[in-house]
Amino acid sequence: MLKNKTAIITGGGSGIGKAISLLFAEKGAEVIIFDLDEKGGNDTKVQIEKSGGKAQFFNINIADNQLIRGTVQKINSIDILVNNAGIAHVGNVENCAEADFDKIYQVNVKGVYNGLSAVLPKMKAQKSGAILNMASVASSIGIPDRFAYSMSKGAVVGMTLSVARDYVEYGIRCNCISPGRVHTPFVDGFLAKNYPGQEKEMFEKLSKTQPIGRMGSPEEIAKLALFLCSDDAAFITGADYVIDGGFVNLKM
């Protein structure tokens, strides 16, 4: 499905990014992982190679524009870019410190910009490419205490639409995915930090906020990512795909 394709995946060392990396490699792509987590990135690379796939890992902070550009220049051709890396923040506008806001912006907004601005010239020259950005249901509905995070994911949707419009004539497609709650290591860490001793109870409570009655899995998000980055989705660009167990449209 992705044979002879080269895919850059940011945040490929854990969670959704790792699931995407493993699936893309399984389907024939050479996966290039960008991640600040050296251990997680290397572990994903090793897991891919043990399964017979091809992978490279670059220990990169996606907020570093020059480092991203310099690394991308070393890669001959890039068929797919998945801007997945991101961080979260809990709080409303009053208890979101300026430093927290700036950090969210640097990673979730500028990080996506850095990937796009580095990769698009290569895709433009080869007149082809598929870009997938990771947004969130927080970009389209109000979620309590997610001020900075919602801001950043709204920006991701806006950048997706802009790139899709500006580069459609070059054979480049750009879409985004808006997941609801997905069971990743981040969720487990969040619960352990904020609800010690109540992890199981809170996990069930958060799971039930999706009408379908559970959280999504990273592998489910990865399967949608695979479709949107493959030639099967050749007629799809400028779209935001909600994958949320009914959270947005079936809210009770």
The pLDDT value given to residue 252: 53
d(CA 120, CA 159): 13
d(CA 152, CA 147): 9
**Identified catalytic residue from 105, 149, 195, 241:** 149
Which fold does the domain 6-179+217-243 belong to in CATH?
Answer: Rossmann fold (3.40.50)
- Which residues fall within 8 angstroms of residue 94, CB to CB, at 6 or more apart? none
Specify whether 105 is catalytic: no
16: confidence class by pLDDT, cuts 50, 70, 90:
very high
- Residue 218, pLDDT > 80, answer yes
Closest CA to 241 of 135, 154, 163: 135
| Structure confidence by residue, pLDDT tens digits, 133-166 | 999 999 999 989 899 999 999 999 999 999 999 9
Closest CA to 244 of 205, 217, 223: 217
The domain segmentation of the chain, as residue ranges, is 6-179+217-243
**CA angle (90 as vertex; 89, 92 as ends), nearest 5:** 115
The pLDDT value given to residue 209: 86
Mean pLDDT of the chain: 95
* Upper half-sphere CA count for residue 48 (Cβ side, 13 Å): 29
CB 200 within 8 A of CB 156: no
- Residue 189, pLDDT > 90, answer no
Read off the tokens for 231.
């030639």
CB 240 within 8 A of CB 157: yes
| Structure confidence by residue, pLDDT tens digits, 61-118 | 999 999 999 999 999 999 999 999 999 898 999 999 999 999 999 999 999 999 999 9
Q: What are the start-end ranges of the H helices in the chain? A: 15-26, 38-50, 65-73, 98-104, 110-126, 147-167, 185-194, 199-207, 218-229
185: confidence class by pLDDT, cuts 50, 70, 90:
confident
